[in-house]
Structure 1
Amino acid sequence: MEMNQNQIMELLDTLYAKSINGIPKVSQPIDVLANDYLSKNNSIEKAAKQFINYQVAKCTTSGFVTGLGGLITLPVAIPANVSSVMYVQMRMIACLAYMGGYDTNSDQVQTLVYACLAGISIDQIIKQAGIKFGTKFTTAMVKKIPGTVLTKINQKVGFRFLTKFGEKGIINIVKLVPVVGGVIGGGFDLVETKVIANRAYKMFIKGDFSALDDKDDDEIIDVDIDNIETPADKSNS
């Protein structure tokens, strides 16, 4: 199955809206989910790490990803496990952005969430636009990213996913990262999800947008799926 770049962006936009607003009877709006963790921890960092631990552990549950399939209506026909994986990963990124104080309703943050999911570098695009780029990126700086820069980032995101989807067929999106540990829970790649979680933590909790690419796999957080504390309401997605 082949997709064009416009279809990919439409897919991402649909998943983002569902990530932010939640899915009735399935997942809460992102602000409710984030504030639940923030209210139970004495720092944003602790809240973010607990959230990531729970999300990654939950994704290893047998049938979790498959159970989401069919509940997510998308503009293009892709396998249910693929759409579910992308939804969960994007929602995780968006929740961390909200915890970090970013406006998840803004075009800027939406584009940065896409960049995080795709694993593309934005620093060169930012620099080429004449924006001073430091190791610490603040919420105020994000608000000033112009639309022309967002367009360039989105083009790069679209091309990255177009390349991945088109290599051997969209079904292989769940096998893009050849790692030990493999695919679990109906197509969920645990290691890839941990890499994305670390990337999102760097960006939105630490404000470090300087090294965002596929080699960005340094463990900033240690996700221990065997020994975690979960919130009282375990139905949160």
Structure 2
Amino acid sequence: MAGVARFVASSLAPAAQRFAPTAAGGVLRQILEIAIDGYQRFPGAERIADTKLERCDGDVADAIEAVIDQHIRLAGVQGFVTSIGGLVTLPIALPANLTGLAVVQCRMVAAIAHLRGYDLDDPRVRTAVITCLLGEDGVTARLRKSSLVSSPLAIATAPVFDPELDRQISGEVVAELIGRISGKRMAVTFTRRIPLLGGAVGAGVDGWTTYRVGQFADKSLVRRIRRPIEQ
């Protein structure tokens, strides 16, 4: 894990400078594909959601809680990036911890959306999944500043898919994720001289942010009747 930490530390600044909205959109498309479709031994969102629903005897609320709990634990496990098969070989220039955490949180939100009856093949829903990664505070702040014009629910149920909004949100989400990793790195730096504490802080931060994202997605993506995309 020390190697990953050094990689994160050395990559944050140049990564923040490199990501234009177009590049950010490409990165998040790859992350979403892994989160929704799965990769090697990393099951996709629908499989995870259906497994939890079966184990919870068809109770959607219990299944969502189980999905969130699983992903909190996964986010807190140091070195989880290496368990996602060839994820680190993807041609995306993000720090490994940021990429892995984004995959975990995307899969969690997508699984919640699937349990609530949303079609994960719908591009509007995929944009809404990405938006949820901003968390409640991030979405609220951006709505107030008008840098975001719609809530995740409004995006998922909009009459048409808006590619420009999708690109805008991609840029906002990548900036938010980089900011979170930077903040976590600062916290770990303050505790690095105490054995094991730095790793515990890092794991705790990842677990906490994943919990907050999961709770926001649970509250935001209420069950709705699906509407077809207007051509």
Unaligned runs of 5+ residues in structure 2 are 1-13, 189-199, 225-231
Counterpart in the other structure of 2:172: 159
Q: Distance in 2 between matches of 1:9 and 1:195?
A: 23
Counterpart check, 1:195 vs 2:212: yes
- Number of residues of Structure 1 aligned to a counterpart in Structure 2: 190
Counterpart check, 1:183 vs 2:202: yes
Counterpart in the other structure of 2:27: 11
Quickly say closer, same or farther: Cα 1:69–1:32, change in 2 above 3 A: closer
Q: Distance in 1 between matches of 2:106 and 2:38?
A: 12
Q: 2:123 aligns with which of 107, 111, 122?
A: 107
Tell me the CA shift for residue 158 of structure 1. Answer: 1.2
Give structure 1 regions of 4+ aligned residues with deviation exceeding 6 angstroms: 122-125
Quickly say closer, same or farther: Cα 1:159–1:82, change in 2 above 3 A: closer
As a proportion of its length, which structure holds more helix? 2
Q: Distance in 1 between matches of 2:210 and 2:187?
A: 10
1:3-41 deviation line (CA, Å, top 9, x unaligned): 2111111100000011111001x2123222211111121
Counterpart in the other structure of 1:172: 182
Unaligned runs of 5+ residues in structure 1 are 208-237
Tell me the CA shift for residue 84 of structure 1. Answer: 0.7
Aligned-residue CA RMSD (Å)? 3.6
Do 2:24 and 2:174's aligned partners in 1 also have CA atoms closer than 8 Å?
yes
Do 1:22 and 1:29's aligned partners in 2 also have CA atoms closer than 8 Å?
yes
Counterpart in the other structure of 1:96: 112
Q: Distance in 2 between matches of 1:152 and 1:63?
A: 33
AA partner of residue 28 (structure 1): P
The residue matched to 1:146 in structure 2 has which SS? coil
Q: Distance in 1 between matches of 2:201 and 2:132?
A: 21
Tell me the CA shift for residue 79 of structure 1. Answer: 2.1
Quickly say closer, same or farther: Cα 1:176–1:89, change in 2 above 3 A: farther
AA partner of residue 168 (structure 2): Q
Q: 2:51 aligns with which of 32, 36, 39?
A: 36
Q: TM-score, normalised by structure 2?
A: 0.67
Q: Greater shift after overlay, 46-55 or 73-82? A: 73-82
1:107-164 deviation line (CA, Å, top 9, x unaligned): 1100101110123258788xx79xxx9xxx59xx94443234x533541441353476
Counterpart in the other structure of 1:54: 70
Quickly say closer, same or farther: Cα 1:71–1:32, change in 2 above 3 A: same
Quickly say closer, same or farther: Cα 1:160–1:52, change in 2 above 3 A: closer
Quickly say closer, same or farther: Cα 1:145–1:6, change in 2 above 3 A: same
Tell me the CA shift for residue 73 of structure 1. Answer: 3.7
Percent of aligned positions that are identical: 23
Do 1:56 and 1:190's aligned partners in 2 also have CA atoms closer than 8 Å?
yes
